[in-house]
Amino acid sequence: MAAKICVIGTGYVGLIAAVGLSDFGNIVVGVDLDEKKINMLKQGKSPIYEPGVEDYLNRNLESGRLSFTTAIDQAVQDSQVIFIAVGTPEKENEEADLSYVQAVVNTIAKNLIDYKVIVTKSTVPVGTNRWIKELLEKETGGNNFDVVSNPEFLREGRATQDFFHPDRTVLGCESEKAKEIMFNVYRTLNVTSVPFVWCSLETAELIKYASNAFLATKITFINEIANLSEAVGADIHLVAKSMGMDGRISPKFLHPGPGYGGSCFPKDTKAIASFGRKFGVKMNLIESVIATNEIQKKRMVDKIKKLAGTLEGKTIAILGLAFKQQTDDIRESSAITIVNEIIKDGGTVQAHDPKAMDNFSKLFPDIMYCHTAYDAVKNADAIMILTEWNEYRGLDLEKIKSNMNGNILLDTRNLLDPDVVKDAGFIYEGVGRK
Ligand SMILES: NC(=O)c1ccc[n+]([C@@H]2O[C@H](COP(=O)([O-])OP(=O)(O)OC[C@H]3O[C@@H](n4cnc5c(N)ncnc54)[C@H](O)[C@@H]3O)[C@@H](O)[C@H]2O)c1
């Protein structure tokens, strides 16, 4: 039977959850405070760039199973299952900011007119779901609800695919009634044999942070080995490839680069270190990962300075602003640190990104944004490739070279073949390979 669901927050996670859950056959209303976003969604337009999402959005709007509103009270009252998918950004003290979650919980409390299941999809520190339960009990003076922790593991750029084919679905759930309801919500995944992990609220919360911290560690590890490769004259690609052939290691997340970014790894590693301290457990490894990742971003600036002699008066073409390919998300992108440092050192930036320039221009309104990579390199002294967009793999190097002042190319994603680039007359440097 179709469940009546309300998804609060229609950002990168909430939008995918709303379209995905309605595609499963549920009746879903997506809610956001942001009227502009909701108006776009009602018209079948996605406010974010995510491959495939508009097809699912329109298909489910047309079926009548999916709708959007800013009227949160009504949406909560009309639904049996409420997904919380609002942001949990980093606070100044590096803890997760739970104020958006708290505001939503207060609204749910006001509208808890019958039994509901409150599902937390936002990434929240261990103890948050128990706190939500206590808050709702206190506000409503009863317990006509259940709280479920259902962390999200999707990757931006492959979010729809990840939603429909997750490696696992984690459900921190401590009531049989809620378990039955959640099983029904996700019945399609059960049909396709996706493993369900039923566990306590705390276990579900920690699974999410441990997973992100591990992936961030893996990236940081290979970046450190890449730096050593450079020093000893080894080839990081063969090192990583051969490491990945070991089934215990796996080849995924072994690509060296300019340091991890995005809306999750940076804030989630800091949050786990922070609540670790709160529980009296110092997360030495994770704290070291956080610090090492910052050094990796700065290392890219040191590399370009060394190649260019100085950045003062130099024009640097930046290819790629998003924190990774196939997204317009620039949160904690390495490009932010790197562009900041170039400007601080007296350089000028000409930037290109296929999807993220609008978002980047809100942070850096004064740099030059170019329609194509070829426009961005015009009269530049050096190029830095920062995001692994496929279109940068196939650049016409001769055309690029003839448009530039200089001939330096720093490929922080190792997208290009060093020999081919050198043959085209460039001074080339990647990460972890000579
Ligand atoms: N982005 C990812 O790749 C990803 C992956 C897994 C988990 N997560 C987690 O999911 C959560 C959401 O992340 P996101 O990237 O989708 O954030 P986001 O900033 O893109 O979206 C959050 C949305 O919530 C809305 N919102 C805030 N307060 C609201 C309220 N009171 N009522 C209604 N709407 C409200 C905002 O307007 C915004 O549209 C975070 O906890 C994040 O850590 C994100």
Q: Mean per-residue pLDDT for 213-223?
A: 98
Residues 188 and 298 in one domain: no
Q: Is the pLDDT of residue 434 over 80?
A: no
Residues 14 and 155 in one domain: yes
pLDDT in tens, 59-118: 999 999 999 999 999 999 999 999 999 999 999 999 999 999 999 999 999 999 999 999
Closest ligand 1 atom, CA of 37? 39
Cα(84) to ligand 1 centroid in Å equals 9
The pLDDT value recorded for residue 1 is: 83
pLDDT in tens, 163-204: 999 999 999 999 999 999 999 999 999 999 999 999 999 999
Does the reported pTM lie above 0.85? yes
- Closest C-alpha residue for ligand 1 atom 33: 32
Q: Is the pLDDT of residue 433 over 90?
A: no
- HEC string of the chain equals CCCEEEEECCCHHHHHHHHHHHHCCCEEEEECCCHHHHHHHHCCCCCCCCCCHHHHHHHHHHHCCEEEECCHHHHHHHCCEEEECCCCCECCCCCECCHHHHHHHHHHHHCCCCCEEEEECCCCCCCHHHHHHHHHHHHHCCCCEEEEECCCCCCCCCHHHHHHCCCCEEEEECCHHHHHHHHHHCHHHHHCCCCEEEECHHHHHHHHHHHHHHHHHHHHHHHHHHHHHHHHCCCHHHHHHHHHCCCCCCCCCCCCCCCCCCCCHHHHHHHHHHHHHHCCCCCHHHHHHHHHHHHHHHHHHHHHHHHHCCCCCCEEEEECCCCCCCCCCCCCCHHHHHHHHHHHCCCEEEEECCCCHHHHHHHCCCCEECCCHHHHCCCCCEEEECCCCHHHCCCCHHHHHHHCCCCEEEECCCCCCHHHHHHCCCEEECCCCC
Q: Mean per-residue pLDDT for 145-173?
A: 97
Residue 211 lies in a domain: no
Residues 195 and 304 in one domain: no
pLDDT in tens, 289-321: 999 999 999 999 999 999 999 999 999 999 999
- Closest C-alpha residue for ligand 1 atom 15: 12
Residue 226 lies in a domain: no
pLDDT in tens, 309-359: 999 999 999 999 999 999 999 999 999 999 999 999 999 999 999 999 999
Residues 191 and 320 in one domain: no
Which residue from 6, 13, 53 has its CB within 8 A of the most atoms of ligand 1, so it is best to mutate?
13
Residues 182 and 299 in one domain: no
pLDDT over 90, % of the chain:
98
The pLDDT value recorded for residue 396 is: 97
Q: Mean per-residue pLDDT for 35-46?
A: 98
Of 146, 173, 199, the last residue of a domain is: 199
Residue 175 lies in a domain: yes
Q: Is the pLDDT of residue 138 over 80?
A: yes
**Ligand 1 site residues, Cβ closer than 6 angstroms:** 8-14, 31-34, 37, 72, 85-88, 100, 103-104, 122-123, 152, 154, 156, 263-264
CATH number at 380 reads 3.40.50.720
Residues 167 and 303 in one domain: no
Tally of structural domains, the chain: 2
Query: Which range marks the domain in which residue 365 is found?
Result: 294-429
The pLDDT value recorded for residue 341 is: 96
pLDDT in tens, 409-430: 999 999 999 999 999 999 999 9
pLDDT in tens, 274-296: 999 999 999 999 999 999 999 99
